[in-house]
Structure 1
Amino acid sequence: MNPAVLVGIGGMLGALSRHFVGQRLSGDGQATLAVNVLGSFVLGTLTTGLTTDPELLTLFGTGFCGAFTTFSSFAFETVRLYERGKRREAISNATVNLVGALAAVALGGVAASTISF
């Protein structure tokens, strides 16, 4: 299938899923943290050998995860906290998002290697 179509379909599913998470989680930054960590876990599982199918990687890795996760919202929320004088919260937000996403990628990789055939 055409890679642009795969990215489009995956992106649509990722954006809708992100909207769903945003509707379910309230509070400053909770939805952003959730989608970034969950999306990083999914990407970690995909890129660590769960699949080598280039179409699945394009559909889910580039399309879904690309639309589901959101670096721009994370960066905006962090800067807004800093501008409002909430510097500790800004640093905490940045730390939790980055460490959480990196840990989720690693955990996804471990999960994928555990269930790989």
Structure 2
Amino acid sequence: MMVQPMAVFDGYTYLQSSDVTITMQSNLNLYVASVTNAKSSVSNIGGNIQLQEWSGTSWINLVPSHTYSAKNVTSANGNTSKTVRSGYYYRAKVTHTITHNGITETVTEYSDTVLAH
């Protein structure tokens, strides 16, 4: 299992931290879990999980992506899984978003890279 340390965001009004975990499970099943944390209860909080496959020259977005969200809370959780191809590298690109009091804050975070086998 690959675990990336929690990211802490300085300089934001509402966005506090995030965490993304990517796991290669049996039968070539790739599992990603993400959490987005705010400093206080916010109107909207969530993220978009985009799985990516390394083509040998660039990262290719796999479809569909997975969006998660919650209202009037301090955190939101999301997860997704996909069957992938053996011998390829994968990662998750997660875009965390908070909207509150007319302000939208967005941060993009990448998971560790895992080899499917």
TM-score normalised to structure 2 length: 0.29
Which of these two proteins has the greater Rg computed from alpha carbons? 1
Higher RCO (CA 8 Å, separation ≥ 6 residues): 1
Higher helix content, 1 or 2: 1
TM-score normalised to structure 1 length: 0.29
Higher strand content, 1 or 2: 2
